[in-house]
Chain A
């Protein structure tokens, strides 16, 4: 067949409600490139501008950084771009929501893998009142929300676009350095991206992923089945009230969950984690804490708090200001460590110049009662 005839048979672009796949992909790739420029050019330039303008004798705070940059044109464009590149990723003609919506029937038809949903689950007010990540409808309202989230997460870290899964594998490998888990509970598992690496590093373990979002859980079950991972199951539940048995797990994990929770809910999740862990069991959370980073100065905290506002993440700053070790000690955890986490090689170098999330591992072990400790 003449390729030209084939091409002319394609639907006219620009006239339909949704953009053709090529146009969608080109627009999304453009946004990733723009975000990469923001990450590698605008961010270092802004840091340089701040360093030149700051009072070197004064103690810097996020508030003093804000005052220093109050009239900075570069900061305004930096902030604008962070907000609007994310908005364009999800919304508008070439946004993820419109594109996935155009494929609704075929996508929904793939969500057939079994998953334990709870129609009576009362979604918390904090969860339903904000569309996190600027994802219209949030990660829970639309049946396609899991697909939108999955596609969106591929470019969350623009320098690693397309291979964002690396950091989940690194996290699972780090956990596996500490223990050989037999039972794992992954809190706020989303579409299972955080859960699947644990299925791989602990192939003999029983692994359960829980989340509030039914659309994400359905996709998690499908992707787990597609990957041939038979040791994971997914269930709709609140991480603060898991309905698991006391001491049921020897590992509890979460990835990018804590910063989505208000402090009272964080406390409930930590209490619940302590309850469902067996004595001597481990808890690992991967989240964002700027202060523990090699470049965790006032500028980094100012940027992180601004990111929280611009990305519709109201609890990111409260998490960064919590004293988590004190909470964990009060709950009877020991061997508590809060450590910066390298999502890629070289990012923890003191002079690493580009914007990055302040990835942090929070790890703690549930104490073994003294009468249960093995005698030497």
Chain B
């Protein structure tokens, strides 16, 4: 199983899905997942260092956010969701591109 879209001289990656686009898209997903775990690991290491230095209140960090805190983060959260999900609407962001 090969994907003949690779450049000359470069071996084509094996293809497992009916549409090779899915093979490649899932590669992006796994790369992002790896990056996410690297980030989670780093945040946890930062928290441990801060806690050892007496500069982090873990109980406060882990507590459910107050209504005030949730309200403060609402704008950022909704902007993130809009950014994440607006491609699902299938709309052009500029005029004139043939669809």
Contact = CB atoms under 8 A, between A and B. Distances in A.
B49 A76 contact: no
Secondary structure of the B contact surface, majority rule:
helix
Interface stretch (B22-30, B65-73, B82-90): B22-30
Given A7-B49, A92-B31, A80 B55 contact: no
Contacts of B12: none
Contacts of A94: 34, 38
B77 interface: no
B45 A22 contact: yes
Instruction: Report the contact-size class of chain A (Cβ under 8 Å from the partner).
Output: 20 to 34
Contact of A309 (B14, B34, B46, B49): B14
Interface in B43-66: 45-46, 49-50, 52-53, 55
B49 A84 contact: no
A23 B42 contact: yes
A352 interface: no
Interface string A1-44: 01110010000010000010011001101110010000000000
B55 A27 contact: no
Nearest to A7: B49
A7 B31 CA distance: 27
A107 to B, nearest CB: 23
A310 B41 contact: no
Interface of A: 2-4, 7, 13, 19, 22-23, 26-27, 29-31, 34, 76-77, 79-80, 83-85, 88, 92, 94, 309-310
7 tightest A-B contacts by CB?
A26-B41, A30-B37, A80-B16, A79-B16, A23-B38, A76-B16, A26-B38
24 contacts: A3-B49, A3-B52, A3-B53, A4-B53, A4-B55, A7-B46, A23-B38, A23-B42, A26-B38, A26-B41, A27-B34, A27-B37, A27-B38, A29-B37, A29-B41, A34-B30, A76-B17, A77-B16, A80-B26, A83-B14, A83-B16, A88-B30, A88-B34, A92-B31
